[in-house]
């Protein structure tokens, strides 16, 4: 398990190009003094949100330093129209920064400090750890992590940028992708690809790429990055990219950063945060056709401030539709369960060998192919002879050791035995063992 870490989050909620530039030159780390991957709370209960749109965001008060992410509070809101937002009833804000939300089936997943799961049937909110790891198992120290969507097998994809230490002094910032570990229920991800490597100067704007977000605009996948108070988009035909630099387009120029977007009732809704000072930031929205062209500054309208929460800032929006799967075609639907043939049995051994009898034993395959193993089949042959017919025996349990007694053998002979597992999809590969009867 990775050790508690220090996250360099000073650039997570930049509201100006000047702030972003100062981070690049300073390369300073802000120690937040706790492990942001750890479970963020002990659990609570909410009234399950039923409105069609969701937003995870964080607030901060000017009485503290909003550059320090330990002073940020993660909140969850819902809306009927994408403009008027109210906090989910019963939500208990907790320490965390730059959150995001997504729904899969009847569960909401909120990241930004550990992982919170919201049961949409009971309203119970539970907490878990959240990790993005490199392929060697080490902590990737992911920064500004956001949900991108789902693969065809239902697994989540997240997008993020590396730690400040990893990009300090570089002329570009790689935007990374990671895929969910099967069975982790949204808590563990493994780095899978680089979506795009973003130079500090691109499409007429300057800044360090932070706060990535990926969404489907109805036609293609769109990747946003914040470069100071600017937003730059890239496109790809698939969620996993690659997102070509040749598709780069400025979406917000000096009108706000830290973007998130989704398809709404009347177009693509683009959200940014912006404000006159670091301690006076609000979340703003503009409605566009594709989310990949320049949006005039006058089109952005304030939709959420920190005032209802006793704070001076509302920032870092992460938005999603409150539907069971990401609405972007077959590539984002949770698929039906597909059962395949089981794997090969393991630990096949021969024992109790006598002149005319023996016994073979084995263990269940590592994979049942997604369907319960119903039987094991055995066959044998003597050296130089032909294989017997397969003999089936019912699988009495899903684990443990299984065996088959062999009789009517000839003394002093070499025998070969094969064993395979069977489920509703068919037979798995056979495993073979060799032994010789005694003379």
How many CA atoms within 13 Å lie on the side-chain side of 292? 18
Assigned domain for 185 exists: yes
**Which of 309, 332, 355 is the C-terminal boundary of a domain?**
332
| pLDDT tens per residue, range 262-315 | 999 999 999 999 999 988 999 999 999 999 999 999 999 999 999 999 999 999
| pLDDT tens per residue, range 173-217 | 999 999 999 889 999 999 999 999 999 999 889 999 999 999 999
Q: Do 368 and 255 share a domain, yes or no? A: no
Q: Do 303 and 356 share a domain, yes or no? A: no
Q: Do 386 and 327 share a domain, yes or no? A: no
Residues 6+ apart with CB under 8 A from 286: 269, 270, 295, 299, 300, 301
**pLDDT at res. 372:** 86
Kindly report the CATH number assigned to the domain that includes residue 390: 2.60.40.10
367 vs 355 pLDDT, higher one: 355
To 10 degrees, the CA torsion angle through 61, 67, 68, 74? Answer: 50
- pLDDT tier at 23 (50, 70, 90 boundaries)? very low
Kindly report the CATH number assigned to the domain that includes residue 263: 2.115.10
Q: Do 289 and 354 share a domain, yes or no? A: no
Tell me: pLDDT of 138 over 90. Answer: no
Q: Do 128 and 265 share a domain, yes or no? A: yes
Whether the link from the prior residue into 242 is cis, omega within 30° of 0, is yes
- Averaged over 348-354, what is the pLDDT? 95
The pTM (predicted TM-score) of the whole model is: 0.70
Degrees, nearest 5: CA angle 274-233-165: 75
Tell me what percent of the residues of the chain surpass a pLDDT of 90.
72
Distance CA 160, CA 147 (A): 9
Domain span at 367: 346-436
**pLDDT at res. 351:** 94
Assigned domain for 8 exists: no
| pLDDT tens per residue, range 3-15 | 323 233 333 333 3
Assigned domain for 4 exists: no
Q: Do 267 and 385 share a domain, yes or no? A: no
Distance CA 38, CA 1 (A): 11
Assigned domain for 337 exists: no
- Would you tell me how many other CB atoms lie within 10 Å of the CB of residue 190? 17
Q: Do 195 and 91 share a domain, yes or no? A: yes
The mean of the pLDDT values for the chain is: 87
Assigned domain for 3 exists: no
Assigned domain for 252 exists: yes
Assigned domain for 340 exists: no
Q: Do 178 and 311 share a domain, yes or no? A: yes
| pLDDT tens per residue, range 43-81 | 999 999 999 999 999 999 988 888 888 899 999 999 999
Distance CA 28, CA 439 (A): 78
Question: Which residue(s) pair with 205 in the sheet?
Answer: 202
Q: Do 173 and 238 share a domain, yes or no? A: yes
Tell me: pLDDT of 358 over 70. Answer: yes
Q: Give the total number of structural domains in the chain.
A: 2
**Which of 332, 358, 378 is the C-terminal boundary of a domain?**
332
Tell me: pLDDT of 16 over 60. Answer: no
Q: Do 87 and 132 share a domain, yes or no? A: yes
Q: Is 383 exposed, middle or buried (0-12, 13-18, 19+ CB in 10 A)?
A: exposed
Q: Do 124 and 194 share a domain, yes or no? A: yes
| pLDDT tens per residue, range 404-428 | 999 999 999 999 999 999 998 899 9
- Of the candidates 250, 360, 344, 337, the one whose C-alpha atom is nearest the C-alpha of residue 297 is 250
Q: Do 188 and 138 share a domain, yes or no? A: yes
| pLDDT tens per residue, range 320-345 | 999 876 544 444 444 455 688 889 99
How many CA atoms within 13 Å lie on the side-chain side of 119? 10
Q: Give per-residue burial for 308-332: e unless 16+ CB within 10 Å, then b.
A: ebebbbbbbbbbbbbeebbebeebb
**Which of 302, 332, 362 is the C-terminal boundary of a domain?**
332
| Tokens, residue 121 | 């049937």
User: Strand 205-206 to strand 209-216: parallel, antiparallel, or no bridges (unpaired)?
Assistant: unpaired
- Averaged over 116-143, what is the pLDDT? 93
Backbone angles phi, psi at 282, to 5 degrees: -130, 165
- Of the candidates 75, 40, 69, 37, the one whose C-alpha atom is nearest the C-alpha of residue 57 is 75
């Amino acid at each position: 398990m990775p050790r508690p870490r220090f996250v360099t989050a000073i650039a997570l909620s930049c509201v100006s190009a000047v702030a972003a530039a100062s981070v690049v030159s300073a390369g300073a780390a802000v120690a937040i003094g706790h492990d942001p991957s750890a479970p963020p709370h002990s659990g609570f209960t909410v009234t399950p949100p039923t409105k069609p749109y969701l937003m995870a965001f964080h607030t901060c008060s000017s009485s503290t330093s909003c550059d320090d992410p330990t002073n940020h509070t993660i909140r969850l809101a819902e809306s009927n129209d994408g403009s008027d937002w109210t906090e989910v009833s019963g939500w208990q804000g907790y320490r965390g920064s730059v959150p995001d939300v997504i729904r899969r089936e009847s569960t909401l997943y909120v990241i930004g400090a550990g992982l919170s799961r919201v049961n949409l049937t009971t309203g119970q909110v539970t907490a878990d750890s959240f990790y993005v790891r490199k392929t060697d198992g080490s902590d990737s120290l992911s920064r500004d992590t956001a949900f991108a969507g789902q693969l065809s097998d239902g697994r989540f994809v997240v997008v993020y940028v590396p730690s400040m230490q990893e990009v300090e002094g570089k002329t570009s910032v790689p935007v990374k992708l990671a895929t969910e570990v099967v069975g982790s229920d949204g808590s563990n991800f493994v780095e899978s690809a680089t979506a795009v490597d973003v130079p500090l100067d691109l499409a007429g704007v300057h800044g360090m790429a932070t706060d990535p977000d990926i969404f489907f605009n109805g036609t293609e996948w769109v990747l946003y990055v914040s470069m100071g108070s600017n937003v730059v988009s890239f496109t790809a035909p698939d969620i996993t990219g690659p997102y070509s630099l040749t598709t780069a387009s400025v979406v917000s120029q000096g009108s706000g950063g830290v973007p998130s977007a989704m398809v709404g009732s009347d177009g693509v809704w683009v959200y940014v945060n912006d404000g006159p000072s670091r301690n006076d930031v609000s979340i703003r929205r503009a409605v566009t056709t594709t989310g990949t062209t320049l949006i005039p500054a006058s089109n952005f309208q304030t939709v959420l401030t920190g005032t209802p929460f006793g704070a001076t800032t509302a920032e870092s929006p992460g938005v999603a539709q409150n539907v069971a799967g990401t609405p972007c075609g077959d590539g984002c639907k949770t698929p039906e369960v597909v059962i395949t043939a089981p794997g090969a049995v393991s630990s096949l051994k021969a024992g109790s060998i006598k002149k005319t009898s023996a016994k073979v034993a084995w263990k269940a395959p590592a994979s049942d192919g997604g369907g319960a193993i119903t039987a094991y089949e055995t066959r044998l042959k003597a050296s130089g002879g032909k294989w017997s017919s397969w003999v089936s025996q019912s699988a009495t349990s899903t684990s443990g050791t299984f065996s088959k007694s062999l009789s009517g053998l000839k003394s002093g002979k070499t025998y070969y035995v094969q064993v395979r597992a069977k489920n509703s999809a068919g037979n798995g590969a056979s495993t073979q063992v060799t032994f010789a009867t005694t003379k």
